[in-house]
Chains A and B, each alone.
Chain A
């Protein structure tokens, strides 16, 4: 039995539909990341699970119990805000012991639990400090400790790393995951940072306009995106418009601008249908020589951008399509200069085939 189950949950704010018939099951002990752009409904989803919002439609079950009308304090799901929401008038100890205290546990149990958890997050020495005296990282740990101390089984994390600076954010990802796993908690973690979601989650839920675009393990979401949006939002890709020219056993042939053909291993659709081919940046390789064979296209380097361990080229093909290629420095045979003639190539089985979106390709990707 799943620990949390949402069945057909919808939530509207006036004209805006924040959640649109969401079905989602989360297993006990799972670490789930909800990924989506701003306004996708991530926070609303989290708040409905916490009981801070009541859904307009649908049911929410926690441990098999219908909790639509159950107040937040009885759901054993603790909500952690991006700003941590440490009570500013209480010191670290009072903040962490808030849950046990308010639930009227025995005094010595309150003491024991609080000091154990404070030691666990390595803040035993700062129990008298006020939240304002702590660094961002410490505040985050206090907020986590407070949640865990309350005896909650579910952690609802709303951009838990969002208020920290970039380096700390990356460092704390694995710590956060380890803590959740060690304590055998279930975490629902909301973020707009795809790298964070892919790295930390057991399963990723991609949310868009209040609807689930895709659910799956990080690897699957990345390597088998089910929509243009997911391909673009998770990892990013080149998108090439074309028409389906031919369907064979081994795949399809797509005719793109300038009469060129691209071979992809995906199949489906009717001949002549408008389609979009997506290719990941790192799947586009750049070489010199002549363009011979399928998926080998010639063009000129338009710009080369050095980004740490890799280099990003934008290449204008002869048919005026612009592709971006990302090559690890260690894999780069030579550095190409702007204006240099090159041949780009990509494997058919690295191409994703999608029907052309109704709202148009630019709009489909723009939301990000």
Chain B
């Protein structure tokens, strides 16, 4: 049992109240307002969704249809992720090889790349002549836009985008879990005569179950809530999160908010049991299943055989998944920008070239510049404000008895669909709620603060817990520092790395966010939203350029994170 021996150094009470107040106003309320909105306006919701005088419960049927489609997509995505993600996580956790950190970066890339840009890259790669199809000499895309994956019956392009965007959650979570499991267990099992696969099944996987579980939850939630890339590649099919965007733009606010609340509640229902389970870390996971001895024996023989034959396959297939879903689209989109730079390479028309679209009559370059400015202002302001809330909040989480509770609540903005979040913020601050802020840059900032606070807190907390802050602070106190001095001279410098990482992660996320921004932006378009607009306006070369520009921007930021975290 660990006793918390020291009384928490007294944070000034007023700081605590201000922080908690900011947390409630800027994070908690926007996250949950949607649900209360549905309750408050239940009559409206009832008439629009269930008892419309003209179309009856057609909207409800739509909601159900869209929800089931989303679930089918998300579940199959997670299943695919697990199949290939766990072996990759094992390789990353246990093997040392050249280019390992590069591989880790590539796996993490989809977390950093703005999703609309990435979605567009994937779309180009698979379904158009500018992509692989053209590269291998076809006059069309490699895969028709509407072709579906067998068995699960979801569009291929949607599936591949969701795999790419959720894969990092499984790989990195499980990898971290594997790393935390002492390798001596495996060595012991091997020296006792078990083959690698038997060891994996009997020793490693039961111990890693919590990590696999929480990774799956994150991946599932991410897939359920993905908006940016999905908007671009979805074609005629509609997921729950983009249905919210569409309905909001059609002013079917009651339907949209009902759907949004359903998603928020689903996210809660998924995350809460996991959080409660993870809270009791001390309890060993008992994962006992008893197979008949004869089956076990046959299984072990099979595993012994497979361990010898499958090593290469298990190492390389996941790499192919990463290459196909992440690297290929990025390379293709770069290549396309070059191909389309001056003119459409197939028709030879200058109007189909990047340069013409950027600087020609439609003058997209001005839009790109304007959007960059908006994006930068939004990212800087929201990240800065979020950092100011997140630092004291992290201290409160670590030192107050209700800290765990706050931390659990903070998980919600991270996993609820961003379009629900955007809608919630719009309803809260906008004309139908407090009527304080209109659609536009300020509302975008308020929206981004909601998910930036948890992102930053989640990077500060591990830095805090990993560095025995309490001991250093106690030391400083007995050396004569007041509680405030101790925090300023000792604790803050010690968590500086975590704050910086959180700042950049949040900045990157703000830069790439599409779903929520699309709902609240009004006329102030950010760069990722601009990509969506361009695609909708069929200005493909301009979209190509802007996507490349976005990806490049986020790669630079990723590089900076690397440099900071390596220190």
A joins B in a complex: yes
Q: Indicate whether A266 reaches chain B with its CB closer than 8 angstroms.
A: no
Closest chain B CB from A103 CB (angstroms): 5
**Docked-complex contact A54 and B474, CB < 8 angstroms:** no
Q: Indicate whether B144 reaches chain A with its CB closer than 8 angstroms.
A: no
Closest chain A CB from B9 CB (angstroms): 9
Q: Indicate whether B35 reaches chain A with its CB closer than 8 angstroms.
A: no
User: When A81-B471, A89-B493, A102-B485 are in contact, do A152 and B3 touch as well, CB less than 8 Å?
Assistant: no
With beta carbons under 8 angstroms apart, the residue of A44, A52, A87, A147 that contacts B474 is A52
**Docked-complex contact B477 and A98, CB < 8 angstroms:** no
**Docked-complex contact B479 and A53, CB < 8 angstroms:** no
Cα separation A83 to B474 with both chains bound (whole Å)? 13
Q: Indicate whether B319 reaches chain A with its CB closer than 8 angstroms.
A: no
Q: Mark B461-490 against chain A: 1 for CB-CB distance below 8 A, else 0.
A: 000000110011011111111110100011
Cα separation A88 to B493 with both chains bound (whole Å)? 10
**Which chain A positions have C-beta within 8 A of B489?**
98, 102
Q: Mark B1-45 against chain A: 1 for CB-CB distance below 8 A, else 0.
A: 001011100000000000000000000000000000000000000
With beta carbons under 8 angstroms apart, the residue of A47, A146, A150 that contacts B5 is A47
**Docked-complex contact B474 and A79, CB < 8 angstroms:** yes
**Docked-complex contact A102 and B5, CB < 8 angstroms:** no
With beta carbons under 8 angstroms apart, the residue of B467, B478, B493 that contacts A156 is B478
Q: Indicate whether B194 reaches chain A with its CB closer than 8 angstroms.
A: no
With beta carbons under 8 angstroms apart, the residue of A16, A75, A87, A89 that contacts B478 is A75
Q: Indicate whether B377 reaches chain A with its CB closer than 8 angstroms.
A: no
Cα separation A80 to B477 with both chains bound (whole Å)? 11
Most chain A beta carbons < 10 A, residue from B477, B479, B494: B479
Most chain A beta carbons < 10 A, residue from B474, B475, B482, B485: B475
**Docked-complex contact A53 and B475, CB < 8 angstroms:** no
**Docked-complex contact A71 and B483, CB < 8 angstroms:** yes
Cα separation A189 to B241 with both chains bound (whole Å)? 63
Q: Indicate whether A85 reaches chain B with its CB closer than 8 angstroms.
A: yes
**Docked-complex contact A98 and B483, CB < 8 angstroms:** no
User: When A43-B5, A53-B6 are in contact, do A150 and B493 touch as well, CB less than 8 Å?
Assistant: no
Question: CB within 8 Å of B: which of A70-88?
Answer: 71-73, 75-81, 83, 85, 87-88
**Which chain B positions have C-beta within 8 A of A83?**
468, 471
Question: CB within 8 Å of B: which of A107-166?
Answer: 146-147, 150-152, 156
**Docked-complex contact B481 and A102, CB < 8 angstroms:** yes
Q: Indicate whether A317 reaches chain B with its CB closer than 8 angstroms.
A: no
**Which chain A positions have C-beta within 8 A of B5?**
43-44, 47, 52-53
**Docked-complex contact B481 and A73, CB < 8 angstroms:** yes
With beta carbons under 8 angstroms apart, the residue of A13, A51, A89, A147 that contacts B479 is A147
**Which chain A positions have C-beta within 8 A of B477?**
51-52, 71-73
**Docked-complex contact B474 and A89, CB < 8 angstroms:** no
Question: CB within 8 Å of B: which of A31-80?
Answer: 43-44, 47, 50-54, 71-73, 75-80
**Which chain B positions have C-beta within 8 A of A103?**
480
Closest chain A CB from B297 CB (angstroms): 45
Q: Indicate whether A210 reaches chain B with its CB closer than 8 angstroms.
A: no
With beta carbons under 8 angstroms apart, the residue of A13, A54, A77, A88 that contacts B494 is A88
Q: Indicate whether A99 reaches chain B with its CB closer than 8 angstroms.
A: yes
With beta carbons under 8 angstroms apart, the residue of B6, B467, B480 that contacts A102 is B480
**Which chain B positions have C-beta within 8 A of A52?**
5-7, 474, 477-478
**Which chain A positions have C-beta within 8 A of B493?**
89
**Docked-complex contact A73 and B478, CB < 8 angstroms:** yes
Residues of chain A at interface, number, CB under 8 A: 35
**Which chain A positions have C-beta within 8 A of B474?**
50, 52, 72, 79, 81, 85
Closest chain A CB from B548 CB (angstroms): 40
Task: Considering the complex, give the chain B residue whose CB is closest to the CB of A85.
Answer: B475
User: When A13-B3, A52-B7, A53-B5 are in contact, do A72 and B494 touch as well, CB less than 8 Å?
Assistant: no
Cα separation A50 to B475 with both chains bound (whole Å)? 10
Closest chain B CB from A169 CB (angstroms): 21
With beta carbons under 8 angstroms apart, the residue of A47, A73, A78, A151 that contacts B482 is A73
**Docked-complex contact B481 and A85, CB < 8 angstroms:** no
User: When A71-B477, A73-B481 are in contact, do A87 and B7 touch as well, CB less than 8 Å?
Assistant: no
**Docked-complex contact A87 and B482, CB < 8 angstroms:** no
Task: Considering the complex, give the chain A residue whose CB is closest to the CB of B467.
Answer: A88
**Docked-complex contact B480 and A73, CB < 8 angstroms:** yes
**Which chain A positions have C-beta within 8 A of B482?**
71, 73
Closest chain B CB from A256 CB (angstroms): 41
User: When A47-B5, A102-B485 are in contact, do A150 and B479 touch as well, CB less than 8 Å?
Assistant: yes
**Which chain B positions have C-beta within 8 A of A73?**
477-482
**Which chain A positions have C-beta within 8 A of B475?**
79-81, 85, 87
Task: Considering the complex, give the chain B residue whose CB is closest to the CB of A49.
Answer: B478
Cα separation A71 to B483 with both chains bound (whole Å)? 9
Task: Considering the complex, give the chain B residue whose CB is closest to the CB of A16.
Answer: B3
**Which chain B positions have C-beta within 8 A of A77?**
478
Task: Considering the complex, give the chain B residue whose CB is closest to the CB of A18.
Answer: B3
User: When A43-B5, A44-B5, A81-B471 are in contact, do A50 and B478 touch as well, CB less than 8 Å?
Assistant: yes
Q: Mark A169-213 against chain B: 1 for CB-CB distance below 8 A, else 0.
A: 000000000000000000000000000000000000000000000
Question: Given A13-B3, A156-B478, 8 other A-B contacts at CB below 8 A?
Answer: A47-B6, A50-B478, A52-B5, A72-B478, A73-B477, A85-B474, A89-B493, A98-B476
11 sample A-B contacts, Cβ–Cβ < 8 Å, listed by A number: A50-B478, A52-B474, A54-B7, A71-B477, A81-B471, A85-B468, A85-B474, A98-B476, A152-B479, A152-B480, A156-B478
User: Sorted from nearest, which 9 A-B pairs have the closest CB atoms?
Assistant: A79-B478, A72-B477, A85-B475, A99-B479, A150-B479, A102-B481, A103-B480, A78-B478, A89-B493
